[in-house]
Amino acid sequence: MKKSILMTVAMTLALLAAPLQASAPAWGHGEIATLKRWISAAPLDALPVLPTDRLDAATTAGDADAMETQATSLALRLARMHLLGSASVAERSGWNINDTDKEMDLEPLLAAAVENGTLDAFFATLRPRHQEYSALKSAYAKEPDEAKRTTIGRNMERWRWLPRSLGGNYVMVNLPKFEAYLWRDGMKAGAWPVIVGKTSTPSVVFDTTITGVTLNPWWEIPASIVRESIGSLVRRNPALARSRGYVWNDGRYRQKPGPNNALGQMKLVMPNPYSIYMHDTPNKNLFAEDVRAFSHGCIRTGDAIGYAATLLQGVKSREEVDAIVESGVTTTLDLARPLPIYVVYFTAVADGQGGVETLRDLYNRDRRISVPPPVTGCGQE
């Protein structure tokens, strides 16, 4: 009887211990060496070097529990920096893109990597996957000019504020580049010039989903523009206001569809709390300017009907889109599949020739982001 009780107790203790061993594998000297190599190499990704003094002390003392605690803590901090960035809340000010990577549970992934001896793969896969990040990282490692290197580092950090994977199909608008890009199946499928917000009314950095296209749209005039000009025009010169398509009813100021409509002949359906949209414009001469910051915040798109027809492939042909535009009838068409859109702010981009182009810091946002100084002797990962 006593022997049976002792066996039962032993089995119970073994079962209780098993999950603890699985969730907290011991850090061996090899895994700690790998971790310290990645910590030392952090500046290659424009990340700061984490202090390892407590881990070093635990290792010297041969304190296995302290080694495990310190190594796990350092590894998780480094993992989060690679995945989510190292910037403070103040440095991220104005960046309104939801980074779904924040939901990733890193602890079990780290435990598995330590147990399986795959720490290198664990850290490497947490970097942004986009080819633009790879181009910036490569240029950062060899850039001799300190100012340009700092700009590249700041934009590497911004890439960590995006989801690690953007998917195969999406639109990205880069405000300082004054361009919009369509990506399909992981490849760039088209580029369009855009006009963005003035420095006094900057365009917002955000993400949402494009669900459709409105052809021959009405313009729901924002209150700020009503106060600025339209309201007084409607009151003081109603005949001129009518000739320009402005109407007022039910407490709303609107502009009818037509050649003078501020939205032009196309507006994307992309719901967002900022009332920022991609749309056409009657002022197409402004696309000839190199610095195209003229709007109240919305994103005016060059070749807007061609852009709309590209997004509507599989729904309407270009000829059908042109016919709807010609009819003058306000028509909203759903895309075949909703398309994510990211309005971003990158002042360093791949130049397509194996190098990196730095852009004008349109809204003076670069200086918010600190970049650690280069550290010599880092091993390339």
Neighbours of 247 (CB within 10 A): 14
Integer CA distances (angstroms), 341 to 151, 160, 203, 215, 263, in order? 24, 17, 14, 19, 19
Residue 336 and residue 228 in contact, taking contact as beta carbons nearer than 8 Å: no
Please, is 225 exposed, middle or buried when counting C-beta atoms within 10 Å of its C-beta (0-12, 13-18, 19+)? middle
Strands, E assignment, 75-186: 95-96, 170-174, 179-184
364: left (phi over 0), alpha (psi -120 to 50) or beta: left
* Bridge partners, 342 (sequence order): 172, 207
Residues 6+ apart with CB under 8 A from 229: none
- Nearest Cα to 171, choosing from 157, 162, 182, 161? 182
Let me know if 378 is a catalytic residue.
no
Contact (CB, 8 A) for 220 and 330: no
Give strand pairing partners of 172.
181, 342
CA dihedral angle for residue 86, residue 92, residue 98, residue 100, rounded to 10 degrees: 0
Between CA 297 and CA 195 the distance in angstroms is: 9
Identify the DSSP state of 46.
T
Q: Distance (Å, rounded) from C-alpha 63 to C-alpha 355?
A: 48
Cα separation of 336 and 339, whole Å? Answer: 9
- Token pair, residue 143, equals 């850039």
Q: Exactly one of 29, 279, 296, 378 is catalytic; which is it?
A: 279
CA atoms within 13 A on the CB side of 16: 6
- Which spans in 163-317 are helix H? 223-225, 231-236, 238-243, 304-311
**Which one of the listed residues 29, 296, 298, 378 is annotated catalytic?**
298
Catalytic positions are 279, 298
